[in-house]
Structure 1
Amino acid sequence: MTNRIYNIMFHTHTISGIIISAALYVIFFTGSISFLRDEIIAWERNEPVDSNYFSQVDFDALLNNIEKTHHLTGRDVSFYQRVEGQIASTILSAPKDTIAQKETRRSDFFATNLSTYKTEKYADAYTLGEFFYRLHFFAQLNLYGRSGYLLAGFVAFFFLFAIITGVIVHWKKIIPSFYVFRPNGKWKTIWTDAHVSLGIIGLPFQFMFAVTGTYLIIGYSIMLPPVKSLLFNDDDNAFNKVLNPELHIEYSYKGEPLDKTTSFNQFIIETKKKWPDLKLNRL
């Protein structure tokens, strides 16, 4: 490697590391805390965490309670528990009944306490655990579309760039420098030794974080639009049905009342009998 190429690699490695250091610290710090998201939310709400709580809920009573405030006739109703605890996200589709009241002709989304049946809007149900989880990928900065996600993606990309250039710069000294630590030297020497040693120890993990962060965020934003244009002729509905099929299942509305009472609790009991090890988190 010529001196010119080495200097370019060295300086771009240094500059890219300095630019992303603060944002990268936030991503790693909040990512570590997010592993305890469910516990933080349970602590903040003073509610115990039960990993199998969803399948123990009386959904018949829950739906009857929601019916008091939301007209459910002709709607698709979904409960989804993405956090261990007593809260489930509730999604109500727009009514398929054409004679529904005007004020109820729209979809709705809110959080439901599966124990008390209390419903809350997303902002009211917002917790510290949710804040740290979303800050991990800068979701709070999504002022214009996916701007926060893209920022996290570009941080991951420059992190990958810093890792590759760092390996190139230190290639000849990686093994010898790994065993060198001079605690009695100058502070610059101590920091350099620690930088190289810790960088080598964490290299596989850092590389994995950088590649997956770049692919999942930038790859999603850059690679999917051409796929949507080429394969789906820019049809958002057709594209989303393939991407999230469980969220786009259509049920025809006949407008006829059932001649018997349906128990959703019984459905859950029968499902658990058929698949005893199944962990339910969606209805």
Structure 2
Amino acid sequence: MDEENHELFLPLVEEENICLPLPINAVSQYWNIQLPMSEAIETAKKYGAFSGSIMIEGIESAERHGLQCKIVSSSLSELKKIIDSGIPPIVLLPGIPEITQHASIITGYSDEENTIFHYVQKGTQEGEQQEGVIPQNIFDDEWSEEGRLVIILAPSEILSKLMFENISSDQSNRLCFAAERYNILQNPEKALESLKQALEISPDNSVALHLMGTMLSTQNSSDCINLFEQSLKSNKRSYLSYNGLGNFYLKTNQFEKAENFYNKAIEINPKRSAKIYKNRAYVREKLGNISGVKDDLKKYLKIFPRAPDRGIIEQAIREL
């Protein structure tokens, strides 16, 4: 570790699998533990054509091979302490357009430059690690959208020395990851059971609240409204909860409410999702705001230039 720059150096890793996400693989190798890719490939077979990352599978693989894991709701100051203890934390951040979220390894920080360093899946010709750099305030804003979740993987003797601000959130957060796995396996009953258990442990877990809200919204249950609202009480920057409310009010034809919540989500992060602009364009068309429709369709294509419906959207813009 570079003490002056508060920087950790991780091995360059390129191999990944839906059941062995790259951040889990890289952090495990940082601790000199090689997680078997063959094991991940075999596990992945039960997920069929799913193409995302299943973090809980990677976490469980790391635990089977000697690491311990904590998943806690954290803070920027605690994140720095974790780095200074020699542990590279994995955080959940908003995804690029049309990806809900992504996991990123934080390799260091500079208070002098007010920046956070990210591990980047790309190396130089010499095979050295490259880093992405982001201002601390922007990082913290984006991280807060995901409840400031952090995944800490380390040998038990090292992890046991750390004192966490919110260690009670660990089991509740783990159950949220388990619920996402059940959803991918198309087992909503088990997913809901996991989320109920998560909320019994931590009733104000904003992630569990919005995940359950999303599931109930999919079932067209108005009970989702209360869950999304509770999520927002716990985390006023929960983009996904604002968007979830907008989506529910859209499909129940409550267009003014839908636009209101889409607006609030966009205020938090105007670049997170392209689809939200297409949804708001539909709402605005129903409300008679044609200029707003045109603006939103243009924003949709700007954020998602490779949208499969680009031709249809361009034709719609021309006809407005």
| TM-score relative to the length of structure 1 | 0.22
Higher strand share: 2
Which entry has the higher C-alpha Rg, 1 or 2?
Answer: 1
| TM-score relative to the length of structure 2 | 0.20
Higher helix share: 1
Higher relative contact order (CA 8 A, sep 6+): 1
